[in-house]
Chains A and B, each alone.
Chain A
Amino acid sequence: AQSVTQPDIHITVSEGASLELRCNYSYGATPYLFWYVQSPGQGLQLLLKYFSGDTLVQGIKGFEAEFKRSQSSFNLRKPSVHWSDAAEYFCAVAFMDSSYKLIFGSGTRLLVRP
């Protein structure tokens, strides 16, 4: 079965420190990969996506993610976190043979220490 794992429920980092949020998926085919951010009471904002090509993708707000096929991973990174980055982050995958329905991870809540 297709699934997405975000192993970290909460992550706390100091403002200015680097950040890495982990995401792994299970399935054999190459997925379409997404990272979304959700502020409290809000909808989802797309940070970045990977479909094909260069495995290091750049997104909005200084985020980037790297697709590693051998590890079935798509980790999100940011070199220097800002207090406004505190939010919930969701990794999602879609597969052609399931009509590109999005499968979401359970989310990682990012807390930023001043």
Chain B
Amino acid sequence: GAVVSQHPSRVICKSGTSVKIECRSLDFQATTMFWYRQFPKKSLMLMATSNEGSKATYEQGVEKDKFLINHASLTLSTLTVTSAHPEDSSFYICSARGETASYEQYFGPGTRLTVT
């Protein structure tokens, strides 16, 4: 149980285009989802927290107009990187938290974004 998927696993896009990453909880309802960014050989940096049906809460320094997060249902959250630039290239990981055990997050396998 508690499986989280991400799609796509890898994506290459041209500079100036937008790309959408999906995060799904497959066997539980995720009231809260988190989006992290990981630079090479670095730790995970929390970008934002999204609760189903409400606006995401962004961490300090994260541009909310650039990283659009939507959590339209209890099993799906999306991260859209708008007008992507090479510096947005990174590994993006989502996690999901259920209605019970509010202290435990289940992580997706990550999405490697490369902007050319």
Contact = CB atoms under 8 A, between A and B. Distances in A.
Partners in one complex: yes
B99 to A, nearest CB: 13
Contact of B93 (A43, A101, A106): A43
A32 interface: yes
B46 A102 contact: yes
A41 interface: yes
B44 A104 contact: yes
Q: Summarize A's interface: helix, strand, loop or mixed.
A: loop
A44 B93 contact: yes
Given A32-B103, A96-B103, A43 B108 contact: yes
Contacts of B104: 32, 49
B103 A51 contact: yes
Nearest to B6: A43
A71 interface: no
Given A41-B112, A43-B93, A44-B93, A101 B46 contact: yes
A104 B108 contact: no
B43 interface: yes
Contacts of A94: 103
Interface string A32-44: 1000100001111
A104 B112 CA distance: 20
Contacts of A107: 42-43
Given A43-B93, A96-B103, A100-B102, 15 more contacts: A36-B107, A41-B91, A41-B110, A42-B109, A43-B107, A49-B104, A90-B43, A94-B103, A101-B34, A101-B49, A102-B44, A102-B95, A105-B43, A107-B42, A107-B43
